[in-house]
Amino acid sequence: MVNYILNIKVNLVALTMVLMLPIYAQSQDSNFGNWLIYIGNKKLNNNWNLHHEVQYRNYNAIGDLEQLLLRTGLGYTFNNSKNNLLLGYGYILSENYLGNTDEKISVNEHRIFQQFITKQNFNKFSLQHRYRFEQRFVESDFKMRWRYFLGLNVPFCVSEDQTSKLYFSAYNEIFLNTKSSVFDRNRFYGGIGYNINKNIRVEAGYMNQFFETSSRDQFNILTFVNF
């Protein structure tokens, strides 16, 4: 039993170090922004679900639009709700600054994506792996990209009924293009969440996103709804 608990602690420490590697990978100038995120999931029956989300991303606290992202998809859940396959579509409006000026240019993107999610539950924490492949129609250009997401969820205090209101959440996600340059970006996130009830939870945390020669910091506020 002691060895089992020790192994869990060692695995948690190792996982935390892996998740935090991108923060120390390089030192870069950074700007701070704010992302407001809503993620919803409508259960159609025991297997099928409808995914939808809205992300409102700002260069600053609020009011200076960086990106508006609308995403939806149809998913199929199996293996006792541990796995989910999803086919989705996304529309993304980006407001990009031109160089070091105050002028912006609007970029429209339509995106088709396929993803597979698998979950692992351990004694005191859970892991989620998400594999996503995107086909991106950016104005008149076509691009493809792979993404791998590794998420960690740890409850603070577990009650007698094995539930917890507060939890710690962290993830790391890497983006790889199918052609040069292959490395697109990496995201690291850590935050605190609160389960309002079994269908609704809210979360707030810090995310660092770094590219080859620059990085950005965001404060994220997320709402998750299942209905």
Note down pLDDT in tens along the chain; length 227 residues: 444 443 444 444 444 444 444 443 343 445 789 999 999 999 999 999 999 999 999 999 888 999 999 999 999 999 999 999 999 999 999 999 998 898 999 999 999 999 999 999 998 899 999 999 999 999 999 999 999 999 999 999 766 666 689 999 999 999 999 998 999 999 999 999 999 999 999 999 999 999 988 899 999 999 999 99
For residue 174, give every residue at least 6 positions away whose Cβ sits within 8 Å of its Cβ, in sequence order, or none: 147, 148, 185, 186, 187
Say how many Å lie between the first and final Cα of the chain, rounded: 39
Helices (runs of H) and strands (runs of E) counted in the chain = 1, 11
**pTM for the structure as a whole:** 0.85
Q: What residues are paired with 189 via a beta bridge?
A: 171, 207
What are the Cα distances from residue 102, in Å, to 45, 58, 75, 98, 211? 49, 15, 41, 7, 22
